[in-house]
Every structure is written in C-alpha cells, then in structure tokens.
Structure 1
Amino acid sequence: MSAIPDRPAELSRRTLLGRTAAAGLLATPAAGLLGACATSGGDGGDTEQATGTKSAENPFGVKEDAPLEVVIFNGGYGDKYATDVHEPLYRKKFPNAEVKHQASQAISTVLQPRFASGNPPEFVNNSGEKSMDFGALVADGQLLDLTELWDAPSVDDPNKKVRDTVVPGTVDVGSFNGKPYVLYYVSTVFGLWYSGKLFSGSGLQPAKTWDEFMSLLDKLKSKGVTPYGYAGANAAYYQWNVILTHAAKIGGEEVLKNIDNLAAGAWTADPVRQAAAAWAEVGAKYSDKSFEGLKHTDVQLLQNQYKVGLYPSGDWLENEQKQNTPPDFQYQMATLPGLTSSDKLPAGTLRATAAEGYFVSAKSKNPRGGLEYMRQMLSTEGAKGFTETVRAATVVPAATAGYAFPPGVKSSQDALAAAGQNVVNLFFDGWYKELDKEARTATNELMFGRIKADQFCERMQQRADAIAKDDSVTKFTR
C-alpha cells in the first residue's frame, strides 16, 4: 500500500468538540474501528457506474432509477434511523430507485468478500467490533473522496454549502492526507456510567480523587454490588480507553499522541504504567472474573439490574439499553478521577470525539446515489430524525434545537461542557487494527490478573515497535 501523509492536526478535532459543547449538542459512539479488508487497489476499477444529469435539484447527477444499497451497523444506535428516516428521504427524492437495506453487527465479515470481489454496496456505516480498517480502505482506493459532498448546496438552503451546515472541524475529522473520505456523523463522550437511583438512594457521589474512588468502590462492594465491570468477551476496548485516558490525565495529551504516532517508548512511559497499575488493582479487588467471558450487553444488563456499580462506555449506552433499563434507573456519566496530586490534566478531563463513521464506496455501481444519501442525512430533517430516533445528536447543530436529551446523555453533555479545553482523543485503534487487537487482549490479561502493569506496557510497546518497522503497514501521524 502507498503511504498516506499526516491526518489533520488535533486542533481541528478540539474545535469540533468545543463548538459541540458550546452549542449544547450531544455526542455518541464511536466505538473502535477495526477489521481488515483485503482489496485490490485502483480508483473505480472496471465497475460500470450509474450517472444521470446534474441540476440544481440533483447536484451529483444521480441516475434516478439506479438501485442503492445501504449497509448499517446494528449496534448501539440500531438501524431504525436508516429505515425510518434516511432511506425514506432518499426514496422521496428518487421514487423510482430501489433502496436495499442490510443491517449487521459484523461489518467486515459481511463486506470483506464483497470488496475483495469488486462488488461493494454504495453506502456503509462502518462501526463496531468487526468494522473494516479505514486506513486500508483509503490506501486501496475503496472510499470515495467526499469533497464534492461538502461543496454541494445543502438540502435546506441551496445558497449554503453542506460543509457550512455542520459543526466546524467535521470535515477534517474524517480526512486522510487532507482529503475527506469518512463522514463522522455523531460525536461521543466517554466516561464511567452508573445508576442515578442507585447512587442517590445509597448516599453515594462520583469520585474526583483516586482515594475517593477507592472508597466509593468499597461502599458499593459492601452493598453487595460488583463495584466495577466491563465485558471481556468483546468490550476490552472500553477498558483500554479508560486506562489510556487516565494516562493522559497523569502525563498530558502528549502521552496519547506518542502512542498514536508509534513513538519509541510511548507505551512504557511512566504515566501509562501508573494508569495500568491503578486499574489492575481495580480489576483484582472490585470486579468479577466471570465478566471476561461475557459480552457487553450481558454486563450492561447486570448493571440495569443494580448488580454492577460502574461501567465504562460511551454515551450510546443509554439508547442501547433502553429496552432493559428500569424507568427510574436514571443513567448518569462521571469522568475519571484524578490519580495523583501532580496530574497534568484536571479530574474533569475526558475523551470525546466525533465518531460513527460512514462512507461511500468508490467502486460501487451508484456512488452518486451514495453522495446524495449522505446529503439527505446532513439535512435538518435527516439529522433531527436521527436524534429523535436514537436520542443522540449529530454534527448538524440546527437539528438539535429545542431537543430534550434523556438524563444520561444530558449528563455526558454537561461533563463535556464542563471539561472545556480539557478534552483528549486517540486514534491508533482506527489506524492500526493489529495494535487495537493486541490492546484488547493485553487489557484482559491485565484486568483479570494474568499479567502485571509492567508486562502490559512492555507487551504493547513490542507490538507497536513491530508495526512501526513494518513497511507494508500504512503509517499515520498527528
């Protein structure tokens, strides 16, 4: 694969988050990007692509009766927003076009063979544990450059470009080498989730310091509640996210930048060791070893039954669990406590990002239709429909005006606003599939007591070093 130069600087991502907080918007999942896609290179191949006549009403020149295939990750947001909001908007625009819908929790499993054979769907929501590798897709010429989308007239105001209707920084977040290939439609706030009813009924408060945090876990344990838990079977990502966010609080944002950049000694740096050791103690004393064999929904259900106190996740959690959550459960999100008195970032620091990636396949039969589908998503009607369906905000500010978010999302938005500029993010999980896979495995080893913090750090550094030296792997930096 050919090398791709640096992605946009972190400043653009901070701008996005700062504007989101200021506007009182929401943020949601994003969950880690992984999975491989074995594809051939090129830019369109020999696929015969449908084209129509461009006009003010049809800025991309979509062939009006060309079929459109939409594949949606059926995770925390489900797929109802696509079937009930976005796809109807497209059908209204092109009533003679067949829209084929498919939902899956294993995107790479379903789509990898199709990309390899040159028959990809037009539009993909690439997310979840088994998502495809965005970096590999870009390097192989599989993703359509979205510049034309961002420069097109918006659905709501033809005098305004689509790029001018979204939160500043949105285009940059999905760009590689300055070219936009991915639409990150929602943003995510990560933290520790708990039941407001359980805490208020027990006289408990979220902790700001590590001593307070350990005391809180002791109190939960005394009440017969497993104080802390995550699902080792498929959600170790949730926990390495906690460890690394904590490392950034200890040592500053450079800790995460060094990890993303595959810098020598990034994983064995003292802040990472301290964070790993602290959370290994939590795993040993306050979790349940049986959780390693459980999936995320299993542990989340236990929390809904008041059997688990604190659970790490992004703010898609509330919507994902809505069918199993007691009416008075009252989801709330807390930020990570400080670990030492010399932490470089304050206790309110959190990880947040625009996420949930969507793309148009460059080698599909109707990529023009894929662009129009995205344009409809980014209309006020499309974005508002998404928010009303899944109770999460998009990157379209006009769509959330007057919307009352549920308690959990409101708490995450309050935390984001309170964090101000103390927002961090990391990207290695989307850039390097194998490093993310190693982090998940090593995190389980650490949290369930089979390795110590030093071993965790050394193991991760060895894997990062191997990737850094592998010329076949496309490298990204920030």
Structure 2
Amino acid sequence: MNPENPHRPYPTRRSLLKTAGAAAAGVPLLAACVTNSGDGDEPADTGGAKSTENPLGVRADAPLEVVVFKGGYGDEYAIKAEAKYTEKYPQAKIDHKGLQKVGEAMQPRFVAGNPPDVVDNTGAGRLDMATLVSAKQVTDLAELLDAPAFDQPGKKVRDTLLPGVVDDGTFGGSPVALNFTYTVWGVWYSKSLFAERGWIYPTTWADMLALCETIKKAGIAPWTYQGKYPEYINDPLLTMAAKAGGLDLVKAVDNLQPDAWKQPGLTQAAEAFAELAGKGYLMSGSEALSHTEAQAAWCQKKAAFIPCGSWLESEQKDVTPAGFDMVLGTVPALPAAKMPVTAVQAASSESYLVPAKAKNVAGGQEYLRILFSLASAKDFAQANSTLPAVAGATEGLTLSSGLGSVRDAVTAAGPDAFNYRFRTWYAPLAKAIDDATGELVNRRISVADWSTRIQKASDALAKDSTVVKYTR
C-alpha cells in the first residue's frame, strides 16, 4: 500500500476538484464539489422491487461499474466478488476497472456528474473523503449496513464487522464509506533474527533503548523507516502518546482542542523518538528512502525494526527471504501509561463508497454486501496475508507469521484498540504533523518546536470557518 498523506481544506460546494500538483506529491486529490450537471438530477437507475432475496432492490439487468485501487492487494478479490454478483444477476453487465491512480481518473467524472457505481477510494492521490461528504457526493450506506449479511443468516451487515469499522466510515453521523481491510500499526521485526541473536522484543521504552544499544553493537542498525513519508515514523510516536495519555489525549487531538499538542503524553512520546534519533539508533540515510527502499533494507537485515501498518507482509511478499518470519510488535510503553502495552492503534482501510450520482446505487450497495461476505473476506485473508474488516475471517485458516501476529495483537488488545480520526477529518493537519515529525527525528527541530508547530496548525484549522468540524 502506498503512503497516503492528505492535505488542504475543503472547497466550496460549487468549486471544481483541484489537482494542484497532488498527484505528483503523492497526496489525495480534492474532490469537490462537484457542481450539479443539472439541478435536481437523480441517479439514472431507481432500483427494482425489494424482497428477502433482493433486500436492496437491485434491478437485475442494470449494468454495474466497479473501480478498484490496484495496489498491494491487487484486484483479484474484487473480481471474485463481481463473479458472485453475476451469478445472482446474470443479466447485469459488469465493467471492472483496476487503477493505480483512482483519484486522478475519478476526479473529472465526479465533476461531470457521471461517477461509477462503486469506487475503492484508496492509494496515493485518492479523493479527499471529507470534501466528497461536504459536497454531498456519496451515498449514505445505512440501508446497506442494516441489510441481511450475504452469507451469515440472522445477522445484519453491520453486525459482521470488526469494532470501529462503521465509525471509520462515518462523517457527521452518516456512514458513507465501508472499509474492507483492518489495519493495525506497530513495530515489525524478524522473529528468526531475534531468536538467532537471543533478543527479546521489549515492552517498555527503556528496554527498547537498551536493546537498540545491543543491536547497534552487533553491527546492525536498530531502526529504519520510510523517510520520504514521515507518517510511518509518526504512527508509533502517536501510539505511544495515546498509551501514555489515554483516550482523552486522542480525543483532544481530534477535537482540535487548544493546547492539545502540549499534553505530557505527546511531548514525552516526542522526546522518546528524538532520543532514538539522538543516540544514533536510526539507520543512516533513512530519511532519503521510499517505503519500498526502507522495507527492502529491513528485509535484508540491515535494520532490526521498522514501523508500518499490517499491510507490510503483503507488500513485501516478493522480496522477503525465506525463513525471515516477520511479526508485528506492539509499541513499547512509557512509564505510568494510562493504557496497557497491549493497546494498539487500529483502523479499517481500503475505503469503498457508492457515489450519490451513480447510475446503479442499489447495485453498488449490493456489490458491497457481496464483497463484505464472510467467504469473500476469508479468500482475501488467505491470498493477501491481511486482516479483513469482517469478523471471523481468519478462523480455520493457516496463517502466515505476519498475519498471525496481527490477529494475535488484535485479540490481545481487545477493547484497547483505538484510532485517531484527524487524518481522515483534517488532511491539512495530518500533513503538518507528518512534516514536523520528520523534522524532529532528523534532529532539525526540538520537541518544544515540534509541539508548538503542530499546535499552531491545529489552532489555525480550528479557527477556519470554511472547514467542516467533527467531534468525538
């Protein structure tokens, strides 16, 4: 999965989607507003009769257009769901598009009012979801969530999803996106390397620093990270902060509260990562590395640790040496933390939406009902070594080392899985935080400067009346 570093505030309802170099910078394109191609226009297809077998009222012969981000997971899983759709609606012609740059391709279609029926809005350069929501360009998926699950009798679709999945796609009280994968962020290491060296993964930051010194003396860099995309090193820092300050800290950040970034939990976590850099525990040259370059170096055992989300194993499958046995470790805790060390930052991703102006809104939602079936999720988990957003999808499967460790981390975390929402709600703030953390770990700004710089960006956003605000 490519890094996703969003930026810029919402445009007005009547403005056009702006590229402004977003594709070149690897940031989400801004979906806007998409002016009406005719005031009062309705989707061309109003659906068919609803029944037990057809709870969403799909018109059996209505064409269906599906656009999928063809990234680290490919698009075969989506094509399999389309085959199931065709089995149920053999008269429906399906137009499938697997794309690398979804936002770039979809931007003019949203502007023109002729979007596809389903969009996997994922990858670098994706459309900004908050802007699409404010422009009323996405369908409320409440009816889908309350529909019967495709292959789990007695359950609604919403009842089959892992905790937080519905919330992750909810804006202003309305569920408008449904995320297919469940991402857990942590610190990765080679289980076989650690066994060979007699190293034990640390649970406290003091133990992490002590182990880093041991690793360094062994001639291996303790850490590397995807330097061109500092959000990767930002994730463990923010996870550590949340463990230190608890959910109140997370909410203060997301709610743009004054002095949120002055909280001790955040400044202590920033000090910890500044110390990691200051002691020379980051592999030399990491700042200049892309995600693939840093991850390749780690797979070559040039560094012991790398921060990443749980897509790492799938993304590295073609270059990981046999017997490497990568596993995810939870972020070590600072003293007197308010959350247990087993707590993890986790959220759903691979975001699917049904455009409001789609010609086949009912078919788009039915396709998602099929895609989010238990059978579909199991196939995806097996093929991609990635945890799907559907509960129970890994039961009965023989799991790889990485996916097994992710599953175990989610199980151990239980109710202590959490997620920041600012990255989805406020793209400009996300970019400001990532940039500041990149400067911090490369020793160009102090912790005080880091805190002040981010708080200034948060305060500016809070005062900007043109930006829709969300609270939790």
Question: TM-score w.r.t. structure 1 length?
Answer: 0.87
Instruction: Decide which of 73, 77, 82 is 2:78's aligned counterpart.
Output: 82
Give the whole-Å Cα distance in 2 for the aligned partners of 1:121 and 1:35.
Answer: 17
Give the whole-Å Cα distance in 2 for the aligned partners of 1:399 and 1:356.
Answer: 16
Residues 88-107 of structure 1: matches in 2 within 5 Å?
A: 88-107=83-102
Instruction: Decide which of 71, 74, 79 is 2:67's aligned counterpart.
Output: 71
Give the whole-Å Cα distance in 2 for the aligned partners of 1:209 and 1:163.
Answer: 37
Instruction: Decide which of 52, 55, 60 is 2:56's aligned counterpart.
Output: 60
Give the whole-Å Cα distance in 1 for the aligned partners of 2:466 and 2:298.
Answer: 43
Q: Quick one: which amino acid aligns to residue 304 of structure 1?
A: C
SS of match in other structure, 2:332: coil
> 1:246, 1:336 within 8 Å by CA — same for their partners in 2?
yes
Displacement of 1:170: 4.0
Q: Deviations over 1:186-232 (max 9, x none)?
A: 32221100111111111111112222111211222223322111112
Give the whole-Å Cα distance in 1 for the aligned partners of 2:209 and 2:345.
Answer: 22
What is aligned with 1:395?
Answer: 389
Instruction: Decide which of 388, 411, 414 is 2:405's aligned counterpart.
Output: 411
Q: Deviations over 1:130-160 (max 9, x none)?
A: 3222221111111101122122233236654
> 1:33, 1:134 within 8 Å by CA — same for their partners in 2?
no
Q: Deviations over 1:254-308 (max 9, x none)?
A: 1111110000011122221221121122234122352222221111111111112
The more displaced of 196-205 and 70-79 is 70-79
> 1:34, 1:429 within 8 Å by CA — same for their partners in 2?
no
Relative distance call for 1:34 and 1:271 in structure 2 (3 A) is: farther
Give the whole-Å Cα distance in 2 for the aligned partners of 1:134 and 1:466.
Answer: 21
Q: Quick one: which amino acid aligns to residue 188 of structure 2?
A: W
Q: Quick one: which amino acid aligns to residue 257 of structure 2?
A: A
Give the whole-Å Cα distance in 1 for the aligned partners of 2:181 and 2:273.
Answer: 29
What is aligned with 1:17?
Answer: none
Q: Quick one: which amino acid aligns to residue 37 of structure 1?
A: A
Displacement of 1:469: 0.5
What is aligned with 2:453?
Answer: 459
Q: Deviations over 1:52-87 (max 9, x none)?
A: 42243333333333332222223342322112x212
What is aligned with 2:16?
Answer: none
SS of match in other structure, 2:261: coil
Give the whole-Å Cα distance in 2 for the aligned partners of 1:359 and 1:442.
Answer: 32
What is aligned with 2:341?
Answer: 347
Q: Deviations over 1:347-395 (max 9, x none)?
A: 3322122333211111122222211110111223222222222233333
Give the whole-Å Cα distance in 1 for the aligned partners of 2:380 and 2:281.
Answer: 37
Relative distance call for 1:329 and 1:98 in structure 2 (3 A) is: same
Relative distance call for 1:76 and 1:457 in structure 2 (3 A) is: farther
What is aligned with 2:312?
Answer: 317
The reply to whether residue 251 of structure 1 matches residue 245 of structure 2 is yes
The more displaced of 465-474 and 59-68 is 59-68
Q: Quick one: which amino acid aligns to residue 386 of structure 1?
A: F
The reply to whether residue 224 of structure 1 matches residue 210 of structure 2 is no
Displacement of 1:453: 1.3
> 2:385, 2:402 within 8 Å by CA — same for their partners in 1?
no
Give the whole-Å Cα distance in 1 for the aligned partners of 2:213 and 2:328.
Answer: 19
Displacement of 1:112: 2.2
Q: Quick one: which amino acid aligns to residue 308 of structure 1?
A: A
Identity %: 41
RMSD, matched Cα:
2.5
Instruction: Decide which of 290, 296, 305 is 1:301's aligned counterpart.
Output: 296
Displacement of 1:118: 1.8
Q: Quick one: which amino acid aligns to residue 409 of structure 1?
A: L
Instruction: Decide which of 118, 132, 140 is 1:137's aligned counterpart.
Output: 132
Question: TM-score w.r.t. structure 2 length?
Answer: 0.88
> 1:47, 1:364 within 8 Å by CA — same for their partners in 2?
no
> 1:37, 1:132 within 8 Å by CA — same for their partners in 2?
yes
Q: Quick one: which amino acid aligns to residue 70 of structure 1?
A: V
Relative distance call for 1:420 and 1:440 in structure 2 (3 A) is: same
Give the whole-Å Cα distance in 2 for the aligned partners of 1:106 and 1:467.
Answer: 28
SS of match in other structure, 1:70: strand
> 1:442, 1:459 within 8 Å by CA — same for their partners in 2?
yes
- Count residues in correspondence: 447
